[in-house]
Amino acid sequence: MKKRQLLNFFLLFCICAMASAQSVKKTGAFRCGGWNDDFRQLRDLQWNMEELDLSEADCDSIRANALHSRHKLKSLILPNKVRFIGSQSFFACDSLTSLILPATTERIESRAFGNCYGLHTITSLATTPPTIAEDAFSGLNLRNINLIVPKGSEKAYKSDPYWGKFFAKKQKPSLEDCPKEFSIIPIPQEMVFTGAIALETKNLGKIIADETLANERKQLETVLKSRLGTKNFKKSKATITLSIDKSINTPESYTMSIDEKGICIKGSDAAGVFYGIMTLDQMLIPQEENGRIANLHALTIKDSPRTKMRELMVDPCRIFIPFEDLKGMVMEMARYKMNALHLHLTDDQAWRIEIKKYPKLTEVGSFRVGMDDMQMPISGFYTQEQMKELVAFAKQYHVDIIPEIEMPGHQVAAIHCYPELTCGGVQIPIRTTCGVSDNLLCPSNEFTYEFLQNVFKELSEVFTSQYVHLGGDEAGNPPLECWSSCESCKKLLGEIMSQPGITPQPNSRNDNWRLQKYMFDRVIDFLRKDLNKVPMFWYETDFHEIQPGCVVFAWRHGLTATAIDAAIRCNAKIMLCPGEHCYLDYPAARGDMPEVNWGMPTTSLEQTYKLDPAWGYDMTFENNNLYGVAGTLWSECINSTERMYYMAFPRALALSEAGWSPQKNRSYADFLKRLSHISKDMHRRGICTANP
Ligand code: ACM
Ligand code: ZN
């Protein structure tokens, strides 16, 4: 074990010993509600808590998300006088094995104990069965849980439509008739029903697929197994045919037809076929947990994406996201025809990707204690082998994995490990607070370029995506100021400014943006010529110029039109992820998670849905510049995978429809109807979502 790792373990030991108590008892006054109430104090600040006793806390109501995803919590005693247990209040507290509901319990809300996979005994002391949401224990098999109820109340519990499920015997799946309308998200371009019921799903099984579609055949088998219980894929009366049809000329497009002989899915490419299968999967979602769609209407579908890229960005720097959880994200996004997962791999607070030439980046740069007031150890990184595995895994779902290495800002963790990367070679601590650092990579030092090129070279062996994201956002506050006191940067700027035709930019605070352009030009040139990559970056007005052919991300509130105008002017491509619609790390409603933040605005589901990727521009913009849409999941205030999912869904579905479906087919009211069906399915699969 390396010296630094030993030191990390020692630090971890000291923190565990000193900081967060493992056993907590609260008595008397208890604040429930408000931005930093006692539940938030327990959930986010007692990160190590294993036992919580609230029996004597003066609290009759557990608010929504109160102790969401506290995986370490093994023992919970609810307040003696509790009446109301809010939505997702103990979601994914999966180390809890038993639960006592006090006699005062009156109501338990949606997914209050969802994904509490460890629960095997529930004792209810309430003589009248509490009113309970039908998905209060979503994700759990109720028949495997021992429910103990007060003597004399057994009949009331057994005859209650929900509580009765704890006592039910194993049931045969109930057959459901074909729905009158399908709930498909994103809504297809064209779907025509002939009305007549054409096909009994029990006859489905046999698959005929082009040889090149072995992966899609496997995906289809998984769908049929999970939705219909089909086991035999060789014999059946009705056939599902998968093929490539070169006459469909937009990438990722497909057609589907259903008649009495079977289902035929044709794609312009393998991705198109896969999306046809994802549509079929949604057509087979039953109403009831135990249901099965028995038959399908004859219909035809023609479907094609409006934009090229439908992306989600995750930030494993502020909080580490375990490797396996990234796979879960890939599978979930692919269902809604999203095709890119952007990994923000480096930032001021951590470096998360193994670089063999610079081992300190992960040995030292991936460990720190604390994120703002959350004083917990946060560590972890992805090995190159893991990332290769993720890339290969995501390919099966037609999801591209795009790595981001920030420059020149948001690089404090790297600077901490290799101080020669910054002006003056000053070592600075890894940042433990959010916000913007003034320390930047030095553009006038050759080591910066050697470092970046070596990093990108290694990454190009791991990430096969044609894209590499270079960050470029929030480089200091004021922007780029740290270069003004660096002698070699000043010299370089002097040389740039003395070149023929260069004059000061009239609307610039100073000319340091030319140093950023110098740095980006060099790195972009290397990425294009040596690695054959398409560079991407966050658009900042300070850039003044966008290198043609690059893909920029419009993200700042109120500056989307400025970014679009710049992309048009510079013949660049643009991804739309304006904070107003696409910052999925913002709360969806006031007071919802993350309750404690730096004054984030809200991005409601409706607000996300309202994104029109054309942003009022004409088809010339849409055809020449618009690349796609992206949702961000910055994680300064998200401290578990489940909370990341909670922020992502269902807003990512609204975003996927914005990026995929024609504007004329879209209606928020209709989306909500379709979502109510699809979100039931998500909850059954254990996906954590905010309530629409
Ligand atoms: C960003 O939100 N800093 C791109
Ligand atoms: Zn410098």
pLDDT of res. 505: 78
- CA–CA dist 406, 412 (Å, integer): 10
pLDDT of res. 504: 80
Minimal-distance CA residue to ligand 1 atom 1: 473
Q: Using H for helix, E for strand and C for coil, what is the string for 414-460?
A: HHHHCHHHEHHHCCCCCCCCCCCCCCCECCCCHHHHHHHHHHHHHHH
| 264 and 333 co-located in one domain | no
The DSSP 8-state label assigned to residue 41 in this structure reads I
Does some domain include residue 495?
A: no
| 423 and 472 co-located in one domain | yes
- CA–CA dist 42, 581 (Å, integer): 31
- CA–CA dist 381, 387 (Å, integer): 10
CATH number for the domain harbouring residue 255 = 3.30.379.10
Q: Is the CB of 559 under 6 A from ligand 1?
A: no
| 619 and 635 co-located in one domain | yes
Domain span at residue 50 reads 23-166
Minimal-distance CA residue to ligand 1 atom 2: 555
Minimal-distance CA residue to ligand 1 atom 3: 473
Pairing of strands 346-347, 350-351: antiparallel
| 288 and 319 co-located in one domain | no
* Residue type for position 276: G
| 297 and 316 co-located in one domain | no
- CA–CA dist 281, 388 (Å, integer): 28
Identify the helix (H) or strand (E) that includes residue 607: helix 605-609
Ligand 1 pocket: which of 312, 346, 634, 635 to mutate (most atoms <8 Å of CB)?
A: 634
Nearest to residue 687, comparing CAs of 657, 647, 659? 647
Yes or no: say if 182 and 288 are a contact pair by the CB < 8 Å rule.
no
Ligand (nearest to CA of 539): 1
**Structure token pair of residue 325:** 């959880």
**Structure token pair of residue 631:** 């949702």
pLDDT of res. 632: 98
- CA–CA dist 675, 682 (Å, integer): 10
DSSP codes joined into one string, 515-532:
HHHHHHHHHHHHHHHHH-
Angle (nearest 5°) at CA 528 between 523 and 529: 100
| 665 and 632 co-located in one domain | yes
CATH number for the domain harbouring residue 361 = 3.20.20.80
In total, how many domains does the chain have? 3
Nearest to residue 265, comparing CAs of 219, 318, 229, 307? 219
Yes or no: say if 552 and 538 are a contact pair by the CB < 8 Å rule.
yes
Does some domain include residue 346?
A: yes
DSSP codes joined into one string, 242-282:
EEE-TT--STT-EEEEEETTEEEEEESSHHHHHHHHHHHHH
**Single residue among 276, 303, 330 that ends a domain in this structure:** 303
CATH number for the domain harbouring residue 109 = 3.80.10.10
Distance from first CA to last CA of the chain, Å, rounded?
48
CA of 491 relative to ligand 2 center, distance in Å: 9
Does some domain include residue 502?
A: no
The DSSP 8-state label assigned to residue 482 in this structure reads G
Q: Specify the ligand 1 atom closest to the Cα of 471.
A: 4
| 288 and 351 co-located in one domain | no
Q: Is the CB of 583 under 6 A from ligand 1?
A: no
Q: Specify the ligand 1 atom closest to the Cα of 632.
A: 2
Q: Which residues are the active-site residues?
A: 347, 410, 474
**Structure token pair of residue 284:** 């087979």
- CA–CA dist 138, 106 (Å, integer): 19
* Residue type for position 417: C
The DSSP 8-state label assigned to residue 113 in this structure reads T
pLDDT of res. 493: 96
pLDDT of res. 549: 84
Does some domain include residue 90?
A: yes
CA of 33 relative to ligand 1 center, distance in Å: 30
Q: Specify the ligand 1 atom closest to the Cα of 474.
A: 3
**Single residue among 128, 143, 166 that ends a domain in this structure:** 166
Angle (nearest 5°) at CA 142 between 328 and 223: 40
CA of 421 relative to ligand 2 center, distance in Å: 9
How far from the centroid of its chain's Cα atoms is residue 292's Cα?
29
Question: How many alpha carbons lie under 13 Å from residue 244 in its C-beta half-sphere?
Answer: 15
Q: Tens of pLDDT along 394-412?
A: 999 999 999 999 999 999 9
| 433 and 538 co-located in one domain | yes
Q: Specify the ligand 1 atom closest to the Cα of 410.
A: 3
Q: Specify the ligand 1 atom closest to the Cα of 555.
A: 4
Determine the number of helices (DSSP H) and then strands (DSSP E) in the chain.
19, 32
| 222 and 153 co-located in one domain | no
- CA–CA dist 514, 545 (Å, integer): 10
CA of 410 relative to ligand 1 center, distance in Å: 10
Yes or no: say if 83 and 104 are a contact pair by the CB < 8 Å rule.
yes
Yes or no: say if 488 and 445 are a contact pair by the CB < 8 Å rule.
yes
Does some domain include residue 498?
A: no
**Block mean pLDDT (10 aa), the chain, length 692:** 55 55 94 92 94 97 97 98 97 98 98 97 98 95 96 97 91 84 95 86 94 97 95 88 97 96 97 98 94 94 98 98 97 98 98 98 97 93 98 98 98 98 96 96 98 98 98 94 96 95 80 95 97 97 85 96 95 97 96 92 97 97 97 96 96 98 98 96 92 68
Does some domain include residue 79?
A: yes
**Structure token pair of residue 591:** 């007071």
pLDDT of res. 231: 86
Q: Is the CB of 473 under 6 A from ligand 1?
A: yes
Yes or no: say if 187 and 306 are a contact pair by the CB < 8 Å rule.
no
Q: Is the CB of 537 under 6 A from ligand 1?
A: no
CA of 412 relative to ligand 2 center, distance in Å: 15
Q: Tell me how long the chain is.
A: 692
**Structure token pair of residue 301:** 């579908």
User: Which residues are within 5 Å of ligand 2 (an ion), measured at CB?
Assistant: 423, 442, 444, 486, 489
How far from the centroid of its chain's Cα atoms is residue 495's Cα?
44
- CA–CA dist 307, 614 (Å, integer): 10
**Structure token pair of residue 496:** 């740039």
pLDDT of res. 1: 46
| 112 and 219 co-located in one domain | no
CA of 8 relative to ligand 2 center, distance in Å: 31
pTM recorded for the entire structure:
0.96
Ligand 1 pocket: which of 469, 474, 557 to mutate (most atoms <8 Å of CB)?
A: 474
CA of 397 relative to ligand 1 center, distance in Å: 27
Yes or no: say if 437 and 348 are a contact pair by the CB < 8 Å rule.
yes
Q: Is the CB of 474 under 6 A from ligand 1?
A: yes
| 299 and 315 co-located in one domain | no
**Single residue among 303, 319, 343 that ends a domain in this structure:** 303
Q: Using H for helix, E for strand and C for coil, what is the string for 619-664?
A: HHHHHHCEEEEEEEECCCCCCCHHHHHHHHCCHHHHHHHHHHCCHH
Yes or no: say if 573 and 580 are a contact pair by the CB < 8 Å rule.
no
Q: Is the CB of 555 under 6 A from ligand 1?
A: yes
pLDDT of res. 494: 95
| 466 and 539 co-located in one domain | yes
Ligand (nearest to CA of 488): 2
Ligand (nearest to CA of 577): 1
Q: Specify the ligand 1 atom closest to the Cα of 538.
A: 4
CA of 482 relative to ligand 2 center, distance in Å: 8
Does some domain include residue 2?
A: no
Does some domain include residue 4?
A: no
